[in-house]
Chain A
């Protein structure tokens, strides 16, 4: 233990998980702020209280091995799971509950959400509790291991015919289990990701249709979405390097704009064949909020992230309108 102090991070209102007790060490001296707009106040406060260094992961990425905590502002599901998966304590300033493909890594002992700087307190010594909790499952694991070993040795004594039955049973079991697990995964993502979004979009569409806002929006949107020049402009706006990281998270903005344009196509205000270029116009910012995290997942070095992030942001400015034009070229097949 060096001169670093520990802090306790509690969940905020409507938040989930925690409380986390975190402390930097000599090997892991950094708290990173992966929030896309400078250093988050929460990260700053953690750094102030612990004596650790705080860095903006977008500007100055550091290896995950040197990170003792990550502060994120992810309303979606991807980033919230990535850092817990890498065993880095994760503090989300947005109040979310575990969901998405990485939900199984988002546990109370490594993730806390809805946090603002008032939820960060100095001190805390839950470290001992953590270790005792860890040792218990280990014991269970070894117990389970011995059980399987026993059953394994008893199988060896079986005769050839019984072995065949055993093999057939095992294969059939694997087959059934795989499908069963796949079904479970599907229903899981359905309930946690798809249905909530459906409910949100459905309500939005219902309100727009019923209230007559739709007609007002049509007047605003149709000059932009109703012809190819407007769509190219829309794609360039979405790809502006200072806007794209803000528009990106979880595809929500793309989905909302897409739904609005879809409405206009449905009513015939926007020609049908523009559906394809429109799909690319609303998507110019896809993933721009996620570049450092995606690169970290691909085990990129910090230098790669420093150069790669602006490379991708500026490249979008060029490729976004090109994508819309290519889609426009393909759209003759829809006429």
Chain B
């Protein structure tokens, strides 16, 4: 009988330990997901962001840094990819790569942008702060490094896509240039 009791309490202990961790998350993390940023995003409005973004696409440096950052911040996952429509076809894969690579680095500072996948950051960050580290500093560095990484990813993937376009004979895509300022507003609204 004693044996059974020990076994049962050990079994329940498993879940009690889980519950303790859960309550820790509730008090630590949920306050981070405040409503203010969601409100800010809707005050600024999609139209204004769209107009600004369409002007950024000409420069490689901005195309793989500021464009994905704005997309992720304002449209969040997964609608951030829609900003790809401002780009000529040949740059779209590279934009997707740099955009998706920023979806996790952003969560440390701005959890609203990808709240469903917060734990990619939090799993490591909670251990980091447990060991005595400053979680905000880690979040800052994660975002900063993320920006460097998405720029490199954008440029490398751009090269790779040029190679595959050439190999598959998609010359029409390679030669296609698009004047982004020609984009009609209806196009933006449709998406």
Residue pair B19, A186 in contact (C-beta under 8 Å): no
**Interface size of A by Cβ–Cβ distance < 8 Å?**
92
Q: How close is B89's CB to chain A, nearest CB, in angstroms?
A: 5
- Residues of B with C-beta under 8 A to A250: 116-117
Query: How far apart are the CA atoms of A23 and B160 in the complex, in Å?
Result: 39
Which of A258, A293, A307, A322 meets B120, CB within 8 Å? A258
Query: How far apart are the CA atoms of A264 and B123 in the complex, in Å?
Result: 11
- Interface residue A77 (Cβ < 8 Å from any Cβ of B): yes
Residue pair A312, B131 in contact (C-beta under 8 Å): no
- Residues of B with C-beta under 8 A to A264: 127
Residue pair A298, B125 in contact (C-beta under 8 Å): no
- Contact residues of B with A, CB < 8 Å? 13-22, 24-26, 29-30, 33-36, 38-39, 42-43, 76-79, 81-85, 87, 89-90, 92-97, 99-101, 103-105, 112, 115-128, 130-133, 137-138, 141-142, 144-145, 148-149, 152-153, 156-157, 159-161, 163-165, 167-168, 170, 172-173, 191
Q: How close is B175's CB to chain A, nearest CB, in angstroms?
A: 13
Q: How close is B115's CB to chain A, nearest CB, in angstroms?
A: 5
Query: How far apart are the CA atoms of A327 and B125 in the complex, in Å?
Result: 15
- Residues of B with C-beta under 8 A to A258: 119-124
Give residues of chain A (242-296) contacting chain B, Cβ–Cβ below 8 Å. Answer: 250-251, 254-268, 272, 275-276, 278-280, 282-283, 286-287, 290-291, 293-295
Query: How far apart are the CA atoms of A82 and B116 in the complex, in Å?
Result: 16
Residue pair A185, B153 in contact (C-beta under 8 Å): no
Contact with B along A315-335 (1 / 0, CB 8 A): 110110011001100110110
Q: Knowing that A181-B42, A266-B130, A299-B84 touch, tell me 15 more A-B residue pairs with CB under 8 angstroms.
A: A193-B115, A205-B18, A258-B121, A262-B126, A275-B125, A286-B100, A290-B78, A298-B82, A298-B84, A299-B85, A300-B93, A307-B167, A312-B160, A315-B159, A319-B149
- Residues of A with C-beta under 8 A to B78: 78-79, 81-82, 101-102, 290, 293-294, 297
- Residues of B with C-beta under 8 A to A186: 33-35, 38, 112
Which of B18, B112, B117 meets A206, CB within 8 Å? B18
Query: How far apart are the CA atoms of A244 and B141 in the complex, in Å?
Result: 25
- Residues of A with C-beta under 8 A to B29: 194, 198
- Residues of B with C-beta under 8 A to A268: 131
- Residues of A with C-beta under 8 A to B43: 178
Using A199-B22, A307-B165, A318-B156 as known contacts, say yes or no to A255 and B14 having CB atoms under 8 A apart.
Answer: no
Residue pair B30, A301 in contact (C-beta under 8 Å): no
Residue pair A303, B173 in contact (C-beta under 8 Å): yes
Residue pair B124, A265 in contact (C-beta under 8 Å): yes
- Residues of A with C-beta under 8 A to B133: 272, 275, 334
A-B CB contact pairs (8 Å), 29 listed: A101-B116, A178-B42, A182-B35, A185-B38, A189-B116, A201-B25, A202-B24, A206-B19, A250-B116, A255-B122, A259-B123, A259-B127, A262-B130, A265-B128, A272-B133, A279-B124, A282-B120, A286-B100, A287-B103, A290-B100, A294-B96, A294-B99, A299-B85, A303-B170, A311-B161, A311-B163, A312-B157, A312-B161, A330-B144
